[in-house]
Structure 1
Amino acid sequence: MTGSLHPNIIKDASTGSAGVVAGELAAEDAGLINDATLKSHNYGSVETSTSGSTSPVETHSEDSDFAMPKAQVYVVISSLYMSSYLAALDATVVTTLLSIIASDLNAVARISWIATAYLLSCAAFQPLFGKLSDIFGRKPLLMVCCFCFAIGCFICSTDSLLMLVIGRFVTGIGGGGLTALGTITMSDIVPLRSRGLYQGLGNVCFGLGAASGGVLGGVVADLLGWKYVFLLQVPLAMLVGIAIYFNLNLPAGSPGLGAYGSDMSTKLKRVDFLGSFLLVTSLMGVMAAASFGGRDIAYDSVLFISLVVISCVLLLAFAYVELYVSPEPVIPVELLAERTVLSSSLTNWFYTMGVFTYLFYVPIYFTSVLGLSATENGLRLVPNFLATSTGSVGAGLYMKATGRYYKLAVATGILALFGVTNVSFISPRISLVNQFLLQLPQGMAYSSILTITLLSLIAAVPSKYQACTTSIQYTFRATGSTLGVSIASAIFQNILKTNLSSKIYELISDPLKAAIVLENALENAQYAQTAPHAIRDAIIDSYGIACKGAFAFAGATVALGVLTSLFMREHVLHTSMSRD
């Protein structure tokens, strides 16, 4: 666990983060957002349904009419699941290889860039794909992403650190695009009522990729060498691209075909280049500050402060451009005025902050306070994966059967709060059973709420705005995971340093010896297991208090997520592709 106390390099498989997590249809040719459109954003809500019915359930034949023949639908969906698996696997595959790669390339001092390059590009470019696919179509964008993923993995099989970082960056663009576009494309071909079930299965594939990345990376590296970890992904990405090319044949009139009848120059003129540039640069700045702040860059340094200020200015400039300048904004921020869009985005933001904090600091607590090994920690995460699979698929099945989601969101919130309370009472006397079940409620609640907010977002707005609206949610989730764990890291480090300094200097009279012990205790979560008996309890207590500080922050953010989820409206979940 050495070096694990700096979670700024976030193992966020979904910031591409936590599954194929949200997306849908596209904007029509010249579909501009205006006041009339915004007034219609209560579209489909129970309270204002023009049908006069108070029930959001639409009666229709089950799974009525996919957008394509079922054989093609299943091939496309299987390919999208494979792309989701690859994107998640590639985000975590380097976790077991960092020290090996860095030593082989003589780049231990710059090891963080190998992991961070993928996450930065994945999170920064992911919000762009919704609008771009509105213009150019789903298939061409998916092919571009498959190409970027494959060529990026190929570049990674290099003997140069610079080329490896570039390869990881290019792979991140492809991986983020495959995650976002996979969700959007599934909503082009699957009826809304059944969408949650397919979403849940997609989340399982993403979870499998994230869970198996480290293991597969280690096995392949031991058998063939670390370069083959990347090279073996190239033919898989190409296979996904070929399957999509031959089978993703959307019917005429489908918004997934992009701007119909427009030549390339006309399509390029519709691209919001200024807004896209401002969004990517601002997110890159935010993610870099969160990833490197407090570890490579001191929080009180001129560089860190400048990075934060410039990123905030660029983000404000982006909002201004999208509101007042761009005729077709890459992210229509006006849609945040719609209650369900805003509440579902904030729900994802807060839940992601909290859950990723738990995923990182519960193992640190087990290691530093209970003295568990990495293998023992890994075994205790197995129930969490089973819980996320059950929660995601279960939520999809419930919504498919009932056509409702609001009560499920409330029940999910209760489960999440129970999990938060359970973690807050953690102690060194925690039972073996509770160690394995500790993160189960949060995992089940998080995967369930991802599926719920996806469906609520899709149902909340007219279909022509759904791909763009999805980009909003991706932005919230990408920044939520990074900011959440980084804030928790700052809280953890400050509490730990304060407690350790006080206790160690009180127990050790020699200032030089005390400073050495303090440095070792801060850098290594397992140091307490080998430290002198006189200070062992002081180190364990300090780590326990620091972890509880991180847990308190995570609990507060999850509670905020539960609160914001209550503001979602219940909308109709249609059983047909034509949402009339």
Structure 2
Amino acid sequence: MSKTHQPHLEPSKLNDTSSGTPGLIASELVAEEELLLSHPNNYSSIAGDSDSIVAPKDDDKGYALTGVKLYTFITASLFAAFLSALDATVVSTLLGVIASDLHQIPNMSWIATSYLLSAAAFQPLYGKISDIFGRKPVLLACSVFFGVGCFITSFKDFKCVIIGRFITGIGGSGFNAVTTIAMSDIIPLRDRGIFQGLGNVAYSIGAASGGILGGFVNDWLGWQYVFSIQVPLSIGIGLVFLFFFVLPPGSPGLGSPGHAKEKLARIDFLGSFFLVSSLVTILLGTSLAGQYFPYISWTFGGLMLTAIVLLLVFVYVELNIAPEPILPVKLLTDRTVLSASLTNWFMTMSCFTYLFYYPVYLTSVIQLPSSKVGLRVIANFVGVSTGSLGAGIYMKRTGKYYGLNVVAVVAYWFGILSFLFLTPQSSASFQLVITFLPGWGYAIMLTVSLLALIAAVPSKFQAATTSIQYTSRFTGSTLGVCIASAIFQKILYNQLTAAIPKVVNDADKAAEIISNALADAEYSKTVSDAIRYIIVMCYERACKGAFAFSFATGCLTCVVTLFIREHKLHSNLDRN
């Protein structure tokens, strides 16, 4: 919208073509209208009259890419999502191996944390950066970061491993966000759910198989090859992006015109600094607390206070200083954007908590071998697969998503509730199916929330809202596991210190048992039956505490998701 044309918006009922309802209150659009008038180029991919940007049509169902180019790009995008998820979990079975080989057992948590930190911190930046520079250059940069990071990680040096994992996280988070944004550039919203469902399946396969593949390659070739093998894979993905992701003229995915210097001048470096600093501080504090310092300590409190101050400064910069904010904070004033983001945040907290502590319960309480533990969680993958694809098909056929999302969240709630009734006497069939409903509901929510975010705002904001979703997802997963870990460790410690001294009169022996039980979930198998029973009961109560947190965040999800509005899912890219 140009500066010379500033229509006055009265607080009356308007017909909104993007909504499935008869209209909406125009006063709810004032914040966005003022934003566009003050910064006409804000968030748009092409400078100038952003309202005039119309995605091109073609003869293949309104897609911007067709035939071989379309499906080759989609395949590469799915494989990129797979690698991104795989690298987040591939070290789960290798932490001890790598740390022992490099003589860094006390610092082994950094091998996993470095990747998650960079992935979560840089995730919010990709929407705006890809709007300015275009999707293809950013995707190519992500391929380079991912490949270089994997290459550096393969060196037998602890500092190289940490630095390499950090760089890999920058590329891996971009793989997720920018491929998702690019799909929205080339696929109409009505069909978008099916492809997003496929992306969720690819991500789930990568996350589920990371530990297994990492262990297999380590046993076959060595841990360094786990990372070096990914280098040619990232090169292959980059080549596909280079030669097959060819957008037609006028596509918002091409970025803004101008020289590189002009584009760099548009980046909100100040806001980016405060946002990344805040996220890194939060994630560092929650990741290291309980291991390097207590949760109730000046160190933890200082980190959290610093993070809050940095976040408040970021919000101030975005609202009052940055001419083109890196993350559109004002979009969160939209009811659907805010509620969809909170739905994603709370449910991801809940989901990652049960995914992390259900195997702990199976191992420490029911005392199943590792092979059977893996089989017990396969229902989660079945739920994710059917939920993701089913949601996409449903939205393609009906063009609706609100009712589906409510059903999915309620089903998820019932699934999480089941964990509170899990006991050592629960049948094998109950143990097998307990993760299906949560996986099914979570997968549907991921697909629906993304489309709800994109459909709720003009197409020029689709990259920004996609970044918001992935930021909610990454921070939710990390914070969820950290909070659940604090709850689990606190309950386990209190239970053990209260129970063990009652049956072990020797104080030194009791302290040794408590220390071993806290450090090893399978320690109970090495002690007498009486002590084993006590340790198992303490672990059960600690796991139930984590499950209670998962249930509580699931309840919050049920509340916030009700405020999502139904918007029309258009069958063409220009949303006519």
Which of residues 480, 499, 503 in structure 2 aligns to 1:503?
499
1:238 to 220, 235, 239: 235
Change (3 A) 1:63 1:192: farther
Distance 1:569 1:36 in 2: 21
User: Are the aligned partners of 2:337 and 2:465 in contact in 1 as well (CA < 8 Å)?
Assistant: yes
1:426 and 1:268, CA in 2 relative to 1: closer, same or farther beyond 3 A? Answer: same
Q: Deviations over 1:244-263 (max 9, x none)?
A: 11111111111100002x11
Query: Is contact 2:365–2:540 with CA below 8 Å preserved after alignment?
Result: yes
- Could you tell me which residue of structure 1 aligns to residue 42 of structure 2? none
Q: Structure 2: any 5+ residue segments left out of the alignment?
A: 25-56
Q: Which among 297, 312, 317 is matched to residue 316 of structure 1?
A: 312
Shift of 1:29: 11
User: Taking structure 1 as reference, are residues 181 and 527 closer, same or farther at Cα in structure 2, changes over 3 Å only?
Assistant: same
- Equivalent of residue 378 in structure 1, options 374, 392, 402: 374
Q: With CA pairs under 8 Å and 6+ residues apart, which has the higher RCO, 1 or 2? A: 1
Instruction: Select between 511-520 and 329-338 the one with higher mean Cα deviation.
Output: 511-520
After TM superposition, give the deviation of residue 298 of structure 1 in Å: 2.1
Q: Alignment partner of 1:47: what SS?
A: coil
Q: 2:547 aligns with which of 548, 551, 559?
A: 551
Q: Aligned partners of 1:34 and 1:470: how far apart in 2?
A: 28
Assess if the C-alpha contact under 8 Å between 1:388 and 1:446 holds in 2.
yes
Equivalent of 1:287 in 259, 283, 286: 283
Change (3 A) 1:272 1:41: farther
Amino acid at match of 1:205: A
1:195 aligns with 2:169: no
Residues 62, 434 of structure 1: CA spacing in aligned structure 2 closer, same or farther, 3 A cutoff? farther
What TM-score comes out, normalization by structure 2 length? 0.90
Cα 1:162–1:41 change in 2 (3 A) is farther
Would you say the 8 A contact 2:15–2:22 is kept in 1?
Answer: no
**For 1:119-138, what aligned pairs fall within 5 Å after superposition?**
119-138=116-135
Tell me, yes or no, if structure 1 residue 342 matches structure 2 residue 329.
no
Corresponding letter in the other structure for 1:344: A
Question: 1:189-338 residue pairs with structure 2 within 5 A?
Answer: 189-260=186-257, 262-338=258-334
Contact 1:38 1:338 in 2 (8 A): no
Structure 1's 345 and 564: CA in aligned 2 closer, same or farther, altered over 3 A? same
Alignment pair present for 1:397 and 2:405: no
SS at match of 2:149: helix
Post-superposition CA distance 1:527-569 (Å, at most 9, x none): 2222222222221111111111111111010111122111111
- Which whole-Å deviations, capped at 9, do the CAs of 1:6-26 have from their partners, x for residues lacking one? xxxxxxxxxxxxxxxxxxxxx
Q: Name the CA shift for 1:113/1:539 in 2 (closer, same or farther; >3 Å).
A: same
Which residue matches 1:23? none
Counterpart-to-counterpart distance in 1, 2:559 and 2:286: 25
Q: Gaps (5+ residues) in structure 1?
A: 1-27, 51-59
1:396 aligned partner, one-letter code: G
1:146 maps to a residue whose letter is S
Q: Distance in 1 between matches of 2:59 and 2:374?
A: 40
In the TM superposition, what whole-angstrom CA distance separates every residue of 1:88-134 from its partner, at most 9, and x where no partner exists? 11111111111111111111111111111111001100110000000
The 3 A distance-change label for structure 1 pair 182 and 256 is same
Shift of residue 323, structure 1, vs aligned partner: 1.0
CA contact (8 A) 2:58 2:64 kept: no
Name which of structure 1's ranges 91-100 and 315-324 shifts more when overlaid on structure 2: 91-100
Residue 184, structure 1, aligned to residue 158, structure 2: no
For 1:46, the aligned partner's letter is G
Distance in 2 of aligned mates of 1:105 and 1:323: 47
Number of the residue aligned with 2:105: 108
Number of aligned pairs? 541
Distance 1:457 1:35, change over 3 A: farther
Deviation at 1:578, TM superposition (A): 1.3
Q: Give a deviation string over 1:315-369, Cα, whole Å, max 9, x none.
A: 1111111111111101111111101000000000110011111011111111111
Return the letter of the residue paired with 2:442.
Answer: Y
Report the alpha carbon displacement of residue 472 of structure 1 after superposing the two structures with TM. 1.9
CA distance in structure 2 between the aligned counterparts of 1:87 and 1:417, rounded to whole angstroms? 28
**How much does 1:304 deviate?**
2.1
Alignment partner, residue 434 of structure 1: 430
Identity percentage of aligned residues: 51
Q: Distance in 1 between matches of 2:446 and 2:201?
A: 12
1:13-61 Cα deviation digits (max 9, x unpaired): xxxxxxxxxxxxxxx999xx999799999762223449xxxxxxxxx99
Match for 1:529: what amino acid? K
1:564-575 to structure 2, matched below 5 A, reads 564-575=560-571
Amino acid at match of 2:21: E
Q: Distance in 1 between matches of 2:378 and 2:104?
A: 33
Q: Is it true that 1:45 corresponds to 2:19 in the alignment?
A: yes
Secondary structure of 1:327's counterpart equals: coil
SS of the residue corresponding to residue 425 of structure 2 reads coil
Code of the residue aligned with 1:192 in structure 2: it is L
- Structure 1 residues 429, 38: CA separation in 2 closer, same or farther (over 3 Å shift)? farther
Which amino acid in structure 2 is aligned with residue 577 of structure 1?
L
1:417 aligns with 413
| 2-structure distance, mates of 1:353, 1:235 | 34
Q: What secondary structure, in the 3-state scheme, does the structure 2 residue paired with 1:335 have?
A: helix
The CA RMSD measured in Å over matched residues stands at: 2.3
2:140 maps to amino acid: M
Q: Bigger shift: 315-324 or 470-479?
A: 470-479
Letter in 2 for 1:369: V
Q: How many Å separate the matches in 2 of 1:316 and 1:34?
A: 32
Give the C-alpha shift of residue 193 in structure 1.
0.3
What TM-score do the two structures reach when normalised by structure 1?
0.90
| Closer, same or farther: CA 34–230 of 1 in aligned 2, 3 Å | farther
- Stretch moving more, 271-280 or 533-542: 533-542
Is 1:91 the counterpart of 2:91? The answer is: no
Q: Deviations over 1:379-423 (max 9, x none)?
A: 111121111111111111100111000110111122112102211
Corresponding position of 1:478: 474
Contact kept in structure 1, 2:15 and 2:23, CA below 8 Å = no
Amino acid at match of 1:388: V
Q: Distance in 2 between matches of 1:220 and 1:176?
A: 24
Q: Which residue, 460, 483, 488 being the options, matches 2:484?
A: 488
- Letter of the 1:44 counterpart: S
Cα deviation, residue 475, structure 1: 1.9
